[in-house]
Amino acid sequence: MKIEKTLLILKPDTIARGIVGEVLSRFERAGLKLVGMKFLLPDKSRLENHYEGIGKLMSRKGKEIYDNTVDYMASGPVLAVVLEGVEAVEVVRKLTGSTEPKTALPGTIRSDYSHVSYEHANESGAVRNIVHASATREEADLEIAIWFDEDDILDYLNVHQAHTF
């Protein structure tokens, strides 16, 4: 089995709307295990480190997207979560849906809880799309290290593992 860890961040819009439990339960129902969690108001330094790839786009539009995203993510508390499971990165990306909520497939988190388009975000700031999810295993490893220390991640058996191993 390919057990992986991945980073999920519930963005300020998720916290403000009071849908944290609803969103997290979708991942738990899929069999993913919560192994790390931090509720925090992220500082700009952490966010700049996290979104460094967007900053490298550095066309004028890329810089504007980067600045809007960092400002938005610093505007309120977030919940950073480490999820673990078989091919967790791909499973989490599938459950979250496309980064543009308007085009996300029905039944995905971004489709079910948001509807904004990139065009709307260009006029109003950042894309309020409920969650951030690591795109690759390599990205997940880098992002987890930005948000969590090694001793923040727990190792335990959940019910799925107890009945499998």
Assign 3-class secondary structure to 39-77: EECCCHHHHHHHCHHHHCCCCHHHHHHHHHHHHHHCCCC
User: Does 132 qualify as catalytic in the annotation?
Assistant: yes
Annotated catalytic residue, options 50, 115, 120, 132: 132
**Separation CA 50–CA 92 (nearest Å):** 18
Cα(146)–Cα(36) distance, rounded to whole angstroms? Answer: 13
Angle (CA) 73-122-12 rounded to 5° is 20
**Structure tokens belonging to residue 2:** 């390919």
65's tokens: 């997207």
Taking the CB of residue 163, how many other CB atoms lie within 10 A of it? 8
Of 149, 16, 32, residue with least CA distance to 24: 32
Residues designated catalytic: 132
